[in-house]
Chain A
Amino acid sequence: GNSVTQMEGPVTLSEEAFLTINCTYTATGYPSLFWYVQYPGEGLQLLLKATKADDKGSNKGFEATYRKETTSFHLEKGSVQVSDSAVYFCALSDPTGGFKTIFGAGTRLFVKA
């Protein structure tokens, strides 16, 4: 079945450091891939998405590229800020697997000033 695996946290970085959160997936069809973010005390919100191989999703300085050959969708940001502290979830939606979205377990990011 479909699944998403992302690196365990927490990840602790200093402000302006480079961020990578790894995400790999297993899917039977051609999924769309997403990163969602959950800030403290708030609901999940979509950060970025990519719908086909080699697409790059980007938003708020974050980027992720859909790599079919490595079944990966790693999240990157060149310079993190304290306000980026949150839990990040990688997810996939695969029409051949039904209508549900499959989420990874989440990676908590702490950014220190």
Chain B
Amino acid sequence: DTGVSQDPRHKITKRGQNVTFRCDPISEHNRLYWYRQTLGQGPEFLTYFQNEAQLEKSRLLSDRFSAERPKGSFSTLEIQRTEQGDSAMYLCASSSFRGTGDEQYFGPGTRLTVT
């Protein structure tokens, strides 16, 4: 297994454009998370999937953000009408629930720059 992968690694877009990021979790993991990380801060939770069901969304996830996980495998995060404040590192993580202590495995992130 090659770990969590994310694509693209870097994205530069103009304000107002739509962008989509992809995350491929570790294959046997049923939980998938999206986080946003800005410079000098820790990751902030955006949303969580268990299999294909989106079970929790942060208030940070405005109407312009949508995430999907069809068939409980890879996930996509789309940002519509990007704004400069959306510039950040978007992290994906996956885990396999084992009762307690949800250890998450992180991908390398997608760095978004909105100009």
Contact = CB atoms under 8 A, between A and B. Distances in A.
Interface of A: 4, 32, 34, 36, 42-46, 49, 51-52, 89, 91, 93, 98-106
Contact of A49 (B4, B48, B101): B101
Nearest to B47: A100
Interface stretch (B10-18, B36-44, B69-77, B79-87): B36-44
A46 B101 CA distance: 12
A46 B103 CA distance: 7
Interface of B: 4, 31, 33, 40-45, 48, 50, 55-56, 58, 91, 93, 100-109
B43 A44 contact: yes
Q: Is the interface of A mostly helix, strand, loop or mixed?
A: strand
A103 B43 contact: yes
Nearest to B106: A44
A105 B41 contact: yes
A35 B33 CA distance: 18
Given A32-B101, A105-B42, A100 B33 contact: yes
Contacts of A42: 108
B100 A32 contact: yes
A50 B41 CA distance: 23
10 closest Cβ pairs, A-B complex: A103-B42, A100-B45, A44-B106, A51-B101, A32-B101, A43-B108, A99-B48, A51-B100, A43-B106, A93-B102
Contacts of B56: 98-100
